[in-house]
Amino acid sequence: MTETNRIEYKLELTKELDLEKDVIAFLNYHEGGIIYVGIDKNGSIVGVADMDGDMLKIKDRLKTNISPSCMGLFDVSADEKEGKDIIKITVASGSEKPYYKRKYGMSEKGCYIRLGTAAEPMPQKMIDELFAKRTRDSIGKIKSNKQDLTFEQLKIYYEGRGISLNKQFANNLELLTEQGEYNYAAYLMADNSGTSVKVAKYNGITRVDLIENEEYGYCSLIKATKNVLEKLELENKTITKITTKERADKQLWSSIALKEAVLNAFVHNDYTNEVPPKFEIFDDRIEITSTGGLPNGLSKEEFFEGFSVPRNKELMRIYKDIGLVEQLGSGVPRILNSYGKDCFTFSSNFLRMSFPKEVNDGGQTGGQIGGQIGGQIGGAIKELTDRQKEVLQLITINTKMSRKELAEKLGINESAVQKHLKALTEERIIERVGTKKGYWKIMIT
């Protein structure tokens, strides 16, 4: 194991500003990089003695000692090699270059850039040029038109992760301008946001015949994101092929790729022109369009390789905190596991992802489960209601789904869910196996 232009090794966490220097160099580098603590310069695994303590120190030092704020631009995670604990710090290329040590300011003593396998002082001329180009119209610097914002939904999502937001949360999450007013990131996260996100559904493969136009908005962007994910999950029906020997199930789209595409569209959308991402469902594909094109300094090749330049670091940080985004730069590679690069279309103002529907060559989809799910099962099956079809589709996707989970996804109460489950059970379409820790059996022959 050797160091490269994107990999740095550190034997231990030192007390000086040495770690900050390497993080700053990667923030200012167009590809970002990874720092391992617990590996010496020769690549030998040594390990760290106090994993949890060192990880907390790293997060605090990077938050305190680097300007502009790099929150949302790094991950600190535990790793293991050769049976020894090490720390992995993943750093994304920042959009507010130059980054520098707060103690020394925007000078050659405070700014660094990655050259080969070393962090070198940045020439003053480069510092001045980068500062002149720094994006000032970011959602963190734009003042929200509304200042009477509330954040109850955001607090609930944080509490769901075991995190309580204190009175200083707006400052800690970078939801304030330098003047102490709510910024546009705060507006997007607020309960009373005016942002409207739409999911359109068409009959056919063109935009001529619009048959559905669901609107998820006027709420926290997190809630809108979850609503879009749930809507597309309902649309992502399962194709079932049944033979005398086996049953094969496959969804119309890769659920992993679809989720990553939705999250990428929300997190990396350019909101400075107040245009949210757009989601469209056709008979042969799903299209997801975000505004802004590629972030500055990122090529198509780097985009496909997973290099991350978060356009909205404030959103990235929050989406990571509540568990929607797992790791910097992981979304595009996950999409490419299921779909090729030709599914992406780039322009100077937009980025579009188009995912073709899985071909149904003789199988049955969840949408056909209405009265013909398995043919004749103990006699003719009554035509199901739309809500019963939705219940059936959800438990076909996840046979261990509880009544509470069904109620949350469908936006109805548990007693209503129980009535639909009872109707499906009486029709011998589903059967409950086990009790509290059991599962639903789909009665298909």
The pLDDT, as a whole number, for residue 95 is: 82
The pLDDT, as a whole number, for residue 136 is: 55
The pLDDT, as a whole number, for residue 309 is: 75
Are 34 and 118 found together in one domain? yes
Are 14 and 113 found together in one domain? yes
CATH of the domain at 19: 3.30.950.30
Task: Choose the final residue of a domain: 327, 356, 385.
Answer: 356
The pLDDT, as a whole number, for residue 365 is: 47
Domain count, the chain: 3
Are 22 and 126 found together in one domain? yes
Given a contact cutoff of 8 angstroms between Cβ atoms, the answer to whether 198 and 278 are in contact is yes
CATH of the domain at 387: 1.10.10.10
Q: How far apart are CA 291 and CA 271, in angstroms?
A: 8
Given a contact cutoff of 8 angstroms between Cβ atoms, the answer to whether 63 and 106 are in contact is no
**319-193-280 Cα angle (round to 5):** 70
The pLDDT, as a whole number, for residue 295 is: 73
Are 129 and 257 found together in one domain? no
Per-residue H/E/C for 168-219: CHHHHCCCECCCCCEEHHHHHHCCCCCCEEEEEEECCCCCCCEEEEEEEECC
Residue 420's domain comprises: 366-442
Mean pLDDT split into 10-residue runs, the chain, 445 residues: 89 87 95 94 92 94 93 92 94 91 92 94 90 72 92 96 94 93 96 93 93 91 95 87 63 94 94 91 95 78 80 92 82 91 90 88 46 39 74 82 84 85 86 80 66
What's this model's pTM, rounded to 2 decimal places?
0.64
| In a domain? residue 323 | yes
The pLDDT, as a whole number, for residue 271 is: 92
